[in-house]
Structure 1
Amino acid sequence: MRLFAWVGLAVLSAPALPSGPVGAAPATRCTSPSQQLLPEVPWTHRRLDPPRVWPLTRGEGVLVAVVDTGVDATVPQLAGRVRPGTDVVNRVGDANDDCYGHGTFVAGIIAAQPRSGTGMVGLAPGATILPVRQANGPSDGTASTLARSIRVAVDAGASVINVSASSFFPNEELRAAVEYAAGRDVLLVAAVANEAQQGNPVAYPAAYPQVLAVGSVGPDGRRSEFSEVGAYLDLVAPGVDVVSLSRAGAGHLVDSGTSYATPFVAAAAALVRSYHPRLTAAQVKRRLELTADHPGTALPDPQLGWGVVNPYQAVTALLAEEHTRAPATLRPPTLGPVGQPQAGTDDEDRAIEFALTAAVLAGLIGLVAYLIPLGIRRDWRSAGEPEDDRDRRGESG
C-alpha cells in the first residue's frame, strides 16, 4: 500500500541519502548528521508561543508515540526522553535509533529539551517519546505496518499517537487499528499528506473520523500549497521552514511538510492530556478544535479546518460542554453547534439538570434569608434617597 513520500530533510551538511531498506543488515547509507545549532527562536515558536503555557504544563506524565522511522535517543536534546520502543517493520529490536532521520525530526518538535545557544525546543518538553518504527525510509512503509504500529503504541501505554505518514487507499486493517485506539481512549493525530497539487487524494488514517487530521500553514498563516484539503481536515499548524533535530548529531535541520505540522498538534494534545487528565481522547480532540485560532469562514473550513492550533487556549479555556456530564465518564460528550452543549435526553441528563436546579434554588433562598436582616441592620436604602430624608427619620449611617 503506497505511503505518501515524506518531504526529504533539508540536511545542513551534505546528505548521504538512503538507497534501500534498513534492517538487521542495513544496505544503505544513512542521512548525514548536522552539528550546526540554529540560535534564534524559530518562527513556529513565535507563532505558537509555548513558554506561555509552560507554567501550567509541559506535558509531564504523557507518553507520545511517534510512529515513524524510529527516534535517535542519543541526540542531546532528546536525552532521557525516549523509550526503547518497538521495530514493527523489521520485526527485530528496538526503535530508539533512526537511519533516515524523519522520526527524530518529528520527535524533536514534540519533546526536544531546552538547550543554551538555541531557541529550538519541543512544544511539550515534559512528555516522553515512544518510538515505533513502521518504515525505514520513504518507500517501504505500508498500511499494514502502520496499522500494526498503532496497535503496538496503544498496548505500550501511549495516550497520544503521532502519525506523519499516510496511505491513499482505505484499508480495513488500518481502520480497525484506528478503532482499536479510539476504543482505548488514545488520541491519534495524523498528517493529511503533501499532495494537494497532485490530485489531492484522500489520506488515511487522517480521514477516519476518530483521527485528528492536520494540515500545514506558513508564516503568513495561509495554507501551504502542498497541504491537502478536504472535509475531514481538523486543524492546521506551522509546516513550512520548521526547525528540529538531526539524527546522530547535536545540530538542527530545516524542512517543510504536513509531517512536521502534525507533531505540533500532537504536542498540544500532550499538554492538554497532562493538564486535564480526566478528559477523554474525543474531548481533547474537540477542545483543540474549539480553541484554535479560527479562520474567518464557516467552520470547519476545507482548507484550514477549525484553524491554527493554539496550545495556550487549548489548555486554559473553560468549555461548558465538558461539564454537561459527570467528569468521570469515559463517554464523549454529545455535541451540538460549535461551542454549545446539546441538551441531554436520557435519565442521567435529567437527573443532573434537576440536581443543579435544586442546588441553585436552595442557595438563592439561603442568600435571601441572610441578606434581608443584614440589609436592615446596615440601613439599606434606595440609591436615589436623599441623605436629608434619612436624617429627618432620625437614622444614622
Structure 2
Amino acid sequence: MNAFARTAAVVCMACAMSGGVANASPPDRSSIQGCAPPPTVTDGAIPWAQLQLAPQRVWKVTRGQGVVVAVVDSGVDPNSPQLAGSVLAGKAVSGAADSDCSGQGTFVAGIIAAKQVHGIGFAGIAPEARILPVRVLDGQGNGDPAALAKGIRIAADSGARVINVSTTTSQPSADLESAVAYARSRDALVVAAAKGGEDGSVTYPAAYPGVLAVGAVNETGQPGAYAETGASVELVAPGEGVVSIGPGGAGHWQGSGTAYATPFVSATAALVRAYRPELTADQVAQRLLATANPSGGAVPDPNTGWGMVNPYAAVTAAVAAGGAEARPGGGAAERVEHPVVLAPDPMPGRIVVVTAGSAIVIGVVTWLVSVLVPAGRRRGWRPAREVVADGDTDPR
C-alpha cells in the first residue's frame, strides 16, 4: 500500500441543477481521460466559510499583495478564470505543474487566491497573492514522501513565503523532516494538513517541528466528518462543505477534508506576510495561533488546537513577540484580545452640525442687518406703511 496519500477529502464534481452546490460522490472519471470533469455550476451566494471568516474586513488593509504561496500538490490549472494572472510558472516533480487531473491543487489554490468576480459569491481569502504550483502527485493522486520532500525544497528555493501542503503521509521520513527544516531556514512558513487519531497517531509533515498543523471543522465549529483530531492539531479552519474552483471550467465544486482547511490558514498567513513583511515565518505562525478564535475551553484544545483562524485579527491585533521555545518548533503563542471595533462617536458629527448651523444663522443675521439698517435710516426709522382705521394702507 502506498504510504503517501491525500488527506481525506471528497470533492463535489456533480452539482445540483438548481445553481447551487451539493454533496456528491466523484463520478467515474475514466471516460474523461481518467481526470475529473470541469466544474460547470456556479453559486452566487457567499459560501459559509467566507461568511464566517469575513476576509473582506481586512481587504482594505491587505489582500496578500505579491506574496508567493506554493501549492505542493497535484498541479494547478492557470486558466481557471478566477485565478487568471495569479499563477506563476510552476515546478514539477511528477508530470506537468500546469496540469491538474484530480483537481485538488486547483481547488486549494482557489481557496487561497481566487479573485472576486461580480455575481459570484466565492472568492479566495488572499485574492492578490501569487500561486506557485509545485506538482508532486501523479494523475491519480499518488506520490511518495521523497517527492513531497523535493517539492518543499523546490518551493523554498523558488521564493515561496508560504508553503501549503494538503497531502500527508503516515510514515516519518528523515528526508521530509530535513526538507521542512530547510524551508524554515529560508524563512518559508510550512502549513500542512494534520490528521491525528485517538491512538496518538500523527501524519507528516504536519507533525514536524515548525510546521503549522491544521485541522478541519464544520459550520458549527466542531471537527467535521472527514477530519480526524489529535494533539498534532494547532489551528482549525473550515473543512466541511467548502467551495472552490476546479480545473477546466468556470464553475465551482464543494469539498470536505483537512486538505481544504489548510489553504484557509495559508491564505491568512499570506495576508499577514504582505502587511507585516518584517515578521519571520515563526512570528507569523505565532500571530495566527495567538489571534485564533478559541473553541471555548482551555487552549490548546485537543480537538481544535488554538482555535479557528481569524484573518482580521491575525493582521490587525497587537501581538507581543515571544520566545521560540514557547511553541514546539518556534514562535510563542500567548493569547491576545481581539481588536474591538468601537461604535462611531456621535460627538464630532454633532459639533459639525452645530458649527454649520451657527454659521448659517450668523450669515442670515448679517444679511438682514446689511439690508434693513440702511432702509431704516432712509425713512428716519418710520414704518414703511401705516395702517388706518378703514383697513386701507397709507403709503409714506
Does TM-score exceed 0.5, indicating one fold?
yes
Give the Cα–Cα distance (whole angstroms) in 1 for the partners of residues 330 and 236 of structure 2.
23
Aligned counterpart, 2:175: 173
Contact 1:82/1:96 (<8 A) preserved: no
Give the Cα–Cα distance (whole angstroms) in 1 for the partners of residues 263 and 93 of structure 2.
21
The letter of the residue matching 1:85 is G
The letter of the residue matching 2:212 is L
Aligned counterpart, 2:5: 4
Give the Cα–Cα distance (whole angstroms) in 2 for the partners of residues 56 and 96 of structure 1.
31
Aligned counterpart, 2:86: 81
- Please list the CA deviations of residues 112-162 of structure 1 after superposition, one character each: whole Å capped at 9, or x if unmatched: 011122110000001000000010245521111100000000011000000
- Please list the CA deviations of residues 321-369 of structure 1 after superposition, one character each: whole Å capped at 9, or x if unmatched: 26x99xxxxxx987486559xxxxxxxxxxxxxxxxxxxxxxxxxxxxx
From 52, 62, 68, the equivalent of 1:57 is: 62
Ranges in structure 1 where 5+ consecutive residues have no aligned partner: 21-26, 326-331, 341-397
Contact 1:237/1:309 (<8 A) preserved: yes
TM-score by length of 1: 0.76
Matched pairs, number: 322
TM-score by length of 2: 0.76
Change over 3 Å in CA distance of 1:79–1:287 after alignment to 2: same
From 130, 133, 143, the equivalent of 2:132 is: 130
Q: After TM superposition, give the deviation of residue 87 of structure 1 in Å.
A: 1.2
Aligned counterpart, 2:190: 188
The letter of the residue matching 1:52 is R
Aligned counterpart, 1:274: 274
Q: How does 1:1-397 map to 2 (within 5 A)?
A: 2-5=3-6, 6-12=8-14, 17-18=28-29, 28-90=33-95, 94-137=96-139, 139-193=141-195, 196=197, 201-321=201-321, 335=332, 338=335
Change over 3 Å in CA distance of 1:164–1:335 after alignment to 2: closer
Give the Cα–Cα distance (whole angstroms) in 1 for the partners of residues 333 and 91 of structure 2.
40
SS of residue matched to 2:213? strand
- Please list the CA deviations of residues 289-314 of structure 1 after superposition, one character each: whole Å capped at 9, or x if unmatched: 00000122221111000000000000
Q: After TM superposition, give the deviation of residue 266 of structure 1 in Å.
A: 0.2
Contact 2:271/2:315 (<8 A) preserved: yes
Give the Cα–Cα distance (whole angstroms) in 1 for the partners of residues 253 and 30 of structure 2.
20
The letter of the residue matching 1:34 is P
Over 6 Å off, 4+ runs: none
SS of residue matched to 1:4? strand
Give the Cα–Cα distance (whole angstroms) in 2 for the partners of residues 333 and 72 of structure 1.
34
Change over 3 Å in CA distance of 1:333–1:234 after alignment to 2: closer
> CA RMSD for the aligned pairs?
2.5
Aligned counterpart, 2:359: none
Contact 1:291/1:314 (<8 A) preserved: yes
The letter of the residue matching 1:79 is A
Farther-moved stretch of structure 1 (202-211 vs 27-36): 27-36
- Please list the CA deviations of residues 171-209 of structure 1 after superposition, one character each: whole Å capped at 9, or x if unmatched: 00000000000111100000014x758x67311000112
Give the Cα–Cα distance (whole angstroms) in 2 for the partners of residues 49 and 294 of structure 1.
17
Farther-moved stretch of structure 1 (66-75 vs 297-306): 297-306
Contact 2:42/2:251 (<8 A) preserved: yes
Give the Cα–Cα distance (whole angstroms) in 1 for the partners of residues 232 and 107 of structure 2.
26
Contact 1:200/1:228 (<8 A) preserved: no
The letter of the residue matching 1:207 is A
Contact 1:18/1:100 (<8 A) preserved: no
Give the Cα–Cα distance (whole angstroms) in 1 for the partners of residues 300 and 217 of structure 2.
16
Contact 1:18/1:137 (<8 A) preserved: no
Identity percentage of aligned residues: 48
Q: After TM superposition, give the deviation of residue 97 of structure 1 in Å.
A: 2.1
The letter of the residue matching 2:286 is R
Ranges in structure 2 where 5+ consecutive residues have no aligned partner: 16-24, 338-396
Contact 1:64/1:127 (<8 A) preserved: yes
Contact 2:209/2:330 (<8 A) preserved: no
Q: After TM superposition, give the deviation of residue 7 of structure 1 in Å.
A: 1.8
SS of residue matched to 1:166? strand
Aligned counterpart, 1:346: none
Aligned counterpart, 1:377: none
Give the Cα–Cα distance (whole angstroms) in 1 for the partners of residues 30 and 70 of structure 2.
26
